[in-house]
């Protein structure tokens, strides 16, 4: 198995307890560069992979294929961890690396453990409270929306469809007792206050 582990925004003390446990127990830990290496080296002896910061898609693809073949022997027989700055599913190369790994080694399972993301950490660092909706973008047009505190998800879906959103996912009581995950037509009429909806235009 390959587990993508979020390493947080750069402070060693902001590693989660679960991240530390996985770094210490993994058969091998892989990281994308010096910054990540510095964050994990107290807990393991990481292998630094090549993730070139270029715009040449062919060069990127070849690097991801090489990485996949380095990770695969460990992930096939044990537990491989890929430590990613921030959170593995927010603006990171983890999803692309998994896509390549699955194509070359489809028998390998993957999982993700979240880390503190810069998207939330910035507010604490700047001491700025954020108590209303806001847009996160890398400068490109966004077709995704995250809605917090969704008490009436079916009603929210109806409103969002009128704005062109067509795919919906909901997690209720995330990481808490009685957690539930819903997709598409399975989303209920009502849910707990501690709920997050993800919507995408297609």
Domain coverage including residue 182? 144-201
Residues forming beta bridges with residue 177, ordered by sequence position = none
The answer to the question of residue 126 being in a domain is: no
CA 199 distance to own-chain centroid: 16
pLDDT at 105: 95
First-last CA distance in the chain? 31
pLDDT at 39: 96
pTM: 0.89
| 135 pLDDT tier (thresholds 50, 70, 90) | confident
| 137 pLDDT tier (thresholds 50, 70, 90) | confident
37, 40, 41, 44 alpha-carbon torsion, rounded to 10°? -120
The answer to the question of residue 182 being in a domain is: yes
CATH classification of the domain holding 53: 3.40.1010.10
32-73: pLDDT as tens digits: 999 999 999 999 999 999 999 888 999 999 999 999 999 999
Whether residue 196 sits in one domain with residue 158: yes
168-189: pLDDT as tens digits: 999 999 999 999 999 999 999 9
């Amino acid at each position: 198995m390959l587990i993508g582990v979020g390493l947080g925004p750069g402070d060693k003390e902001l590693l989660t307890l679960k991240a530390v446990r996985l770094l210490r127990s993994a058969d091998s830990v892989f990281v994308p560069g010096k910054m990540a290496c510095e964050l994990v080296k107290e807990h393991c002896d990481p292998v630094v992979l090549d993730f070139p910061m270029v715009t040449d898609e062919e060069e990127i693809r070849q690097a991801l294929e090489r990485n996949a073949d380095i990770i695969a022997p460990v992930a096939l027989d044990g537990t491989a961890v890929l430590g990613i700055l921030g959170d593995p599913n927010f603006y990171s190369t983890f999803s692309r690396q998994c896509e390549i790994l699955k194509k070359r080694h489809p028998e390998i399972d993957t999982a993700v453990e979240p880390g503190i993301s810069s998207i939330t950490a910035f507010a604490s660092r700047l001491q700025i409270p954020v108590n209303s909706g806001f847009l996160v973008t890398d400068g490109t047009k966004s077709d995704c929306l995250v809605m917090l505190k969704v008490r009436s998800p079916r009603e929210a879906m109806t409103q969002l469809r009128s704005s062109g959103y067509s795919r919906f996912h909901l997690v209720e009581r995330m990481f808490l007792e009685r957690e539930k995950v819903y997709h598409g037509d399975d989303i209920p009429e009502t849910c707990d206050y501690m709920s997050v909806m993800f919507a995408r235009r297609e």
